[in-house]
Amino acid sequence: MAITSPGPQPSAIDAMEFRRALGHFATGVTVVTYQPDGVDEFRGTTVNSFTSVSLDPPLILVSLGRQTRSAAALRPGKPFAVNVLHHGQRELAMHFAGWPKPETAVEWEVRGGVPHLAGCGASFRCVTRDVHEAGDHLLVVGLVEEFQAGGAPPLLFYRGSFEHLRTPVVPQPAAEVSIDFPELW
């Protein structure tokens, strides 16, 4: 059940300023990949609105602009993958955001019948469970069926630019991690 506030109100918010303010929230960068129904090709869309939603059942969410091809494709029941880019994959982020360069090599890997990008930091194979309308976007909730995580440092997006962690993350043995974050949320 969706709980919404009453009807549309005229907004005093400037769209460009709003976008600029949202950019202060640093995110990772993903590419949502899928094969459109009845089309003999794989497609991807760069997405930074990827969010974890639920652990049990395992649910994630991406917010897709209504005008995008991916929003049209990811109807309920549709399989797709979320590929988390690592710091060396900014060209792929640009490629799937609509700025392809001829020299960018895209290496596809089909797992569980779903196209993935090879060599990403992590990937989540999903099937669309619900689609919620939200302004000029659609919120696509995906049920995760399989995932892989390689631990490579992430590509980041902050204030309109691609970034990377200044200090490389050294994987810690579980016993040396002082705070058990999964317990906190």
Ligand X SMILES: Cc1cc2nc3c(=O)[nH]c(=O)nc-3n(C[C@H](O)[C@H](O)[C@H](O)COP(=O)(O)O)c2cc1C
List residues binding ligand X (CB under 6 A).
29, 43, 45-49, 63-65, 68-70, 93, 97-98, 157
Give whichever of 64 and 126 is closer to ligand X, judged by the CB atom: 64
To ligand X, the closest distance from the beta carbon of 135 in angstroms equals 12
Task: Count CA atoms within 13 Å of residue 35 on its CB side.
Answer: 13
What CA–CA distances, in Å, run from 169 to 3, 72, 111, 135, 165?
40, 37, 28, 37, 8
To ligand X, the closest distance from the beta carbon of 74 in angstroms equals 9
Give whichever of 63 and 128 is closer to ligand X, judged by the CB atom: 63
For residue 86, which amino acid is it? Answer: H
To ligand X, the closest distance from the beta carbon of 46 in angstroms equals 4
Q: Which residue has the tokens 């202060």?
A: 24
Give whichever of 160 and 182 is closer to ligand X, judged by the CB atom: 160
Q: Which of these, 151, 169, 164, lies nearest to 87 by C-alpha position?
A: 164
CB 94 within 8 A of CB 101: yes
Give whichever of 9 and 101 is closer to ligand X, judged by the CB atom: 101
To ligand X, the closest distance from the beta carbon of 119 in angstroms equals 19
